């Protein structure tokens, strides 16, 4: 049985054959199972930050947050290029040393895989990230075969869960997505205090997170709920 057939079979097994009704975490779990990797997650691409909509695996959410906090990493790079990318631990250390250091310190993951998810016009609107505990991810299939077998199906399921403007998910938001959506509010708060662009405001928040050894989502949550002030953030950058 080819990879695509095995993936469809795994999706059907997840919820009694109702593939189109699967919640996002089940889709990520099916990806993890069929690829034999330790974790998988699905994110939507926004102009400012990625929006996490699914995670399967104990440390997937943290691995995703590390890239958003740093603003760089293999999964972000693959989505921006619109090309699938598999990275060993050696490649992570060479190309993204800060991300690699954070990843191996905070999680058991040592390798990554990203499949860009595209609309019919070829625009990348989301990405599927998968994580390996082995220094060299073992895919058992060529990367282009994995992309062709898994990517379009996950993209179809995600597009089917988007409202007309392709920004509002019909899936119930998970806690990490709710937290990530606060980034826009925090960016606005920094802009009010410093009269910078939204991208510069995000860079300021990331800089504060990096300097204080926090994840971006945690900094944003503290700022929005009054446990941190914009003056404190700006003074530390």
Res 120: pLDDT: 87
Q: Are 128 and 114 in contact (CB under 8 A)?
A: yes
Res 171: pLDDT: 63
Res 170: pLDDT: 60
Res 169: pLDDT: 62
Q: Report strand pairing: 124-132 vs 39-45.
A: antiparallel
List residues bridging with 112 in a β-sheet: 87, 131
Q: Report strand pairing: 85-87 vs 124-132.
A: unpaired
CATH fold of the domain at 175-236? Arc Repressor Mutant, subunit A (1.10.10)
Q: Are 27 and 39 in contact (CB under 8 A)?
A: no
- The series of mean pLDDT values per 10 residues for the chain, 237 residues long, is 91 74 87 96 90 93 95 91 96 97 96 94 94 94 95 90 58 79 95 94 96 95 96 89
Q: Determine the Cα–Cα distance for residues 183 and 170; give it in Å rounded to an integer.
A: 20
Asked if the domains at 3-160 and 175-236 fall in one CATH topology, the answer is no
Segment holding 191, helix H or strand E = helix 175-194
Res 167: pLDDT: 53
Q: Are 30 and 154 in contact (CB under 8 A)?
A: no
Q: Is residue 154 helix, strand or coil?
A: helix
Q: Where are the domains of the chain?
A: 3-160, 175-236
**Which residue, 181, 179, 215, 173, is CA-closest to 25?**
173
Backbone angles phi, psi at 168, to 5 degrees: -100, 115
CATH superfamily of 3-160: GAF domain (3.30.450.40)
Q: What is the pTM of this model?
A: 0.91
Q: Are 18 and 157 in contact (CB under 8 A)?
A: no
Res 168: pLDDT: 58
């Amino acid at each position: 049985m080819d990879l695509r057939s095995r993936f469809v079979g795994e999706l059907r097994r997840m919820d009694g054959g109702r593939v189109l009704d699967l919640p996002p975490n089940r889709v990520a779990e099916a990806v993890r199972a069929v690829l034999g990797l330790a974790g998988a997650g699905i994110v939507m691409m926004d102009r400012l930050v990625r929006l996490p909509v699914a995670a399967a695996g104990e440390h997937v959410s943290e691995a995703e947050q590390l890239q958003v906090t740093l603003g760089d990493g293999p999964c972000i790079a693959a989505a921006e290029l619109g090309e699938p990318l598999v990275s060993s631990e050696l490649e992570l250390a060479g190309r993204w040393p800060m991300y690699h250091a954070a990843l191996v310190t905070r999680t058991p993951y040592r390798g990554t895989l990203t499949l860009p998810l595209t609309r019919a016009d070829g625009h990348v609107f989301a990405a599927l990230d998968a994580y390996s505990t082995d220094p060299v991810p073992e895919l058992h299939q060529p990367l282009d075969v994995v992309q062709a077998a898994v990517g379009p199906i996950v993209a179809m399921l995600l597009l089917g869960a988007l409202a007309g403007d392709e920004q509002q998910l019909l899936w119930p938001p998970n806690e990490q997505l709710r937290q990530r959506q606060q980034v826009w509010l925090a960016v606005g708060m920094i802009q009010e205090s410093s009269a910078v662009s939204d991208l510069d405001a995000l860079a300021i928040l990331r800089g504060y997170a990096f300097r204080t050894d926090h994840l971006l989502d945690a900094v944003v949550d503290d700022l929005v709920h009054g446990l941190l002030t914009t003056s404190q953030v700006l003074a530390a950058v």
